[in-house]
Amino acid sequence: MNFELTDDQELFRQTARRYLAKLTPMGPTPIGSEGPFVIDREAWRAAAELGWTAMFAPESAGGGSLSGRPVSDLAIIAEEFGRQLGVGPLIPVNIAIRALAGDPQRHGSTLSELVSGTTLATWAVAESAERWSPDSVTLRATPVGTEIELTGTKRYVESALDADIFVVVARTGSGLTQVVVPASVGGVRTTRSKSLDLRREFGTVTLDHVRVPLTSTVGALGDAQPAVQQLFHIASVLQCAESVGVIDRMFEMTRQYMDDRVAFGRPLAAFQVLKHRAADLLMSLESAKAITDAAIAALDSGSAEAPALADAAQSYVSDLAPSFVQECLQIHGGIGYTWEHQLHLFLRRATVNRMLLGSPEQRRQALETRFRGWAPEGSLAHA
């Protein structure tokens, strides 16, 4: 990212880069490697020891951020995930930790397990590809004595088949409730979904009259709307950071290819038309970095502009990334279209990120709704 890193953050970044390079080497893609993809638990525990799960957790659970700006710190890892096409549920686990951190008295032991990496959790929120928002949640959570019963289906749940715990966003009356549901409890059924991203798994989670103790809820019943909305924004900007890592790595690879590939006796980088295309790519890359940095800073500072900046970042970056990688693919020429070349893996990651947490079109609609009727003071529209 563009924000100035402290010495601790730079060491954090370099350590993550080395570990990811060792864990997910960027060699040729073997034919027939379409999955299923299973999380390496030992590798994830090692990642947790490096601090990847600590940023949003309280100190009592073994957590703590490097700089006091947890979103900024975690975005460093998210960007490296994009650069190295990292494996593991980085964003959903941390979103689950952020959710449970709002109620540490009830979920302190679970938080400690998530921070240590011995337990995997994921955030189950989406129900339809058409709408990703708290308002679209229909899965019901109904109090029954000392228990709460959940019925409904969650889709596009990352690492659903590997998760030990689901943090389920459900509707109680007219409000939202977040509930911790063990994957092993009766009535929970998970099915694998086909994933375009060969290094990331998704699934559908069906809850059929699932009952868990009332103490499994996070906070008060029906009072989770603000928390869920904030989790959406955090997840969005972390995903933007990952997509920025994807296109940053693709730009580096493409520049190197332009220097190495010789055509008509000259390197590709010597042709003016390709220089112009590279300049356009660099401008869009820097714009993606800038809007993502702004959204991250706003979330860490608690700015009132954070929701709008998160929507703007996701709208721009998720829309840009697939077309950016496609442009790099064209510059690579025929080699870029082969299965053995790693370029298609970056295109897959960028394409999936475009749709997760809401399409760019949906985010633009959210911005339009947010600013409808607004005009700066002193403008003709305000007058």
Q: Does residue 1 surpass a pLDDT of 60?
A: no
* Residue 381, domain member (yes or no): no
Return the pLDDT at 22: 84
Of 164, 193, 218, which residue constitutes the final position of a domain? 218
Same domain, residue pair 96 and 190: no
* Residue 194, domain member (yes or no): yes
Same domain, residue pair 134 and 114: no
Q: How far apart are CA 268 and CA 327, in angstroms?
A: 15
Burial of 133 per CB tally in 10 Å (0-12, 13-18, 19+): middle
Return the pLDDT at 382: 45
Q: Does residue 3 surpass a pLDDT of 70?
A: no
DSSP code of residue 214: G
Same domain, residue pair 285 and 207: no
Count of CB atoms within 10 A of residue 131's CB? 15
Same domain, residue pair 63 and 36: yes
What's the pLDDT band for 372 if we cut at 50, 70, 90?
Answer: confident
pTM, 2 dp? 0.92
Same domain, residue pair 132 and 114: no
* Residue 30, domain member (yes or no): yes
- Residue 262 belongs to what H/E stretch? strand 262-263
Same domain, residue pair 281 and 163: no
Residue 19 belongs to domain with CATH number? 1.10.540.10
Q: How far apart are CA 323 and CA 285, in angstroms?
A: 12
Same domain, residue pair 203 and 136: yes
What is the chain's alpha carbon radius of gyration, rounded to the nearest angstrom? 21
Q: CB under 8 Å to 59, separation ≥6 — which residues? A: none
Of 101, 120, 139, which residue constitutes the final position of a domain? 120
Percent of the chain with pLDDT strictly greater than 70: 92
Of 218, 235, 252, which residue constitutes the final position of a domain? 218
Same domain, residue pair 72 and 185: no
**Containing structural domain, residue 339:** 225-371
Cα separation of the two ends of the chain: 40
Residue type, 47: A
Averaged pLDDT for residues 73-93: 94
Q: CB under 8 Å to 218, separation ≥6 — which residues? A: 99, 100, 102, 103, 106, 107, 167, 177, 178, 179, 180, 224, 227
Residue type, 376: P
Same domain, residue pair 113 and 169: no
pLDDT digits (tens, 9 = 90+) for 208-246: 999 999 999 999 999 999 999 999 999 999 999 999 999
Q: How far apart are CA 328 and CA 317, in angstroms?
A: 16
CA 280 to chain centre: 26
Same domain, residue pair 232 and 355: yes
Count of CB atoms within 10 A of residue 211's CB? 18
Q: Count of alpha carbons within 13 Å of 187, Cβ hemisphere only?
A: 12
* Residue 80, domain member (yes or no): yes
pLDDT digits (tens, 9 = 90+) for 245-256: 999 999 999 999
Q: What is the total count of domains within the chain?
A: 3
Q: How far apart are CA 127 and CA 155, in angstroms?
A: 5
Q: Does residue 381 surpass a pLDDT of 50?
A: no
* Residue 137, domain member (yes or no): yes
Same domain, residue pair 194 and 112: no
pLDDT digits (tens, 9 = 90+) for 335-367: 888 888 889 999 999 999 999 998 888 888 888
Residue 311 belongs to domain with CATH number? 1.20.140.10
Return the pLDDT at 39: 78
Average pLDDT of every residue of the chain:
90
Same domain, residue pair 11 and 89: yes
* Residue 19, domain member (yes or no): yes
Averaged pLDDT for residues 271-282: 94
DSSP code of residue 203: E
* Residue 53, domain member (yes or no): yes
